Amino acid sequence: MSRLNILLLGGTAEASALARRIAEDNRFDGTLSLAGVTRSPKPSPLDMRTGGFGGVDGLAAYLRQHDVGALIDATHPFAAAMSANAAAAAAAASVSAIALLRPAWRERPGDRWIRVPDMASAAAALGTAPRTVFLTVGRKDLAPFRRAPQHRYVVRSVDPPPPDLLPEGAIFIAARGPFALEDEERLLSEYRIETLVTKNSGGTATAAKLAAARRAGLPVVMVDRPPAAGPAVPTVDEAWEWLVARHREAAAARRGV
Ligand code: NAP
């Protein structure tokens, strides 16, 4: 049986789950690509490559050189540059591509969300009066909060941000999800958090902070997602079905059907 060669752009739990399925199925070969931003990424059963491709042209060249038959963009919903590059490079190299984009979180009864389009607006939404703010926006996106030094920040991310990105006087917590509701409630109370700031990442691993904020009656500044770059499916199962269909198509094309 001829195998279809997959390039899987990762950095998410969904990418890891899909990597396991690809590795276990002899219809596919696959490579998991990571940006190389996390210090100790989880091991994968697929071959791994790390680091940027060098923009659209670099990725298109990679797709051709490695005879990639299908591309899955399972990067984070906020990895907008990579997703745009993936869609453009796949089109340039005539490779079938899809994004695996987990559904966004939706506001529920009891939530006090302030929805904003970007990180600068999130910092502005905190207002001028000093507040104690739980910042869970990732370590790359802290700059606007440095420019709002009236607030006291508790910053949580997987790896520590470079010291020049951390807001002055911020408390830093290194942690990787999944997080439990009781731990999130304890954290909000221990640090006397008044407002939570988060990206609308979706998924279950980091959703407990939203329930904890709801139960404590705290406002949540919610940064909306950038628009998707191309066609997308919401679940690992649907991405898998898409891959199986691409394999079937490739096999039919080889038989000249
Ligand atoms: P980004 O701004 O969209 O990407 C910046 C550049 O990093 C891309 O142009 C690309 O460089 C390189 N890159 C990104 N993802 C890559 C991948 N999977 N494989 C190879 N190169 C990659 O991305 P980001 O927001 O910095 O995110 C970086 C990684 O962290 C992604 O893999 C994403 O899934 C993960 N992540 C991001 C967030 C978030 O909130 N943004 C949260 C959790 C995990 P070239 O142009 O040179 O190819």
Q: What is the pLDDT of residue 1?
A: 66
Strand runs labelled E in 45-169: 47-50, 70-73, 96-100, 112-116, 132-136, 152-157
* pLDDT, tens digit only, all 257 positions of the chain: 689 999 999 999 999 999 999 999 999 999 999 999 877 788 899 999 999 999 999 999 999 999 999 999 999 999 999 999 999 999 999 999 999 999 999 999 999 999 999 999 999 999 999 999 999 999 889 999 999 999 999 999 988 999 899 999 999 999 999 999 999 999 999 999 999 999 999 999 999 999 999 999 999 999 999 999 999 999 999 999 999 999 999 999 988 87
Q: At what angle do helices 208-216 and 181-190 cross, to 10 degrees?
A: 50
Q: What is the pLDDT of residue 41?
A: 81
Ligand 1 centroid vs 131 CA: distance in angstroms?
A: 31
- Asked if residue 76 has its Cβ within 6 Å of ligand 1, the reply is yes
- Asked if residue 171 has its Cβ within 6 Å of ligand 1, the reply is no
Q: What is the pLDDT of residue 254?
A: 86
- Measured by CA distance, the residue closest to atom 13 of ligand 1 is 35
Atom from ligand 1 closest to the CA of residue 83? 3
Going by the DSSP 8-state scheme, the letter that residue 35 receives in this structure is -
- Asked if residue 127 has its Cβ within 6 Å of ligand 1, the reply is no
Q: What is the pLDDT of residue 60?
A: 98
Cβ contacts of 4 within 8 Å, gap of 6 or more: 27, 28, 29, 69, 70, 243, 246, 247, 250
Going by the DSSP 8-state scheme, the letter that residue 239 receives in this structure is H
pTM above threshold 0.85: yes
- Asked if residue 82 has its Cβ within 6 Å of ligand 1, the reply is yes
Cross-strand partners of 73: 9, 99
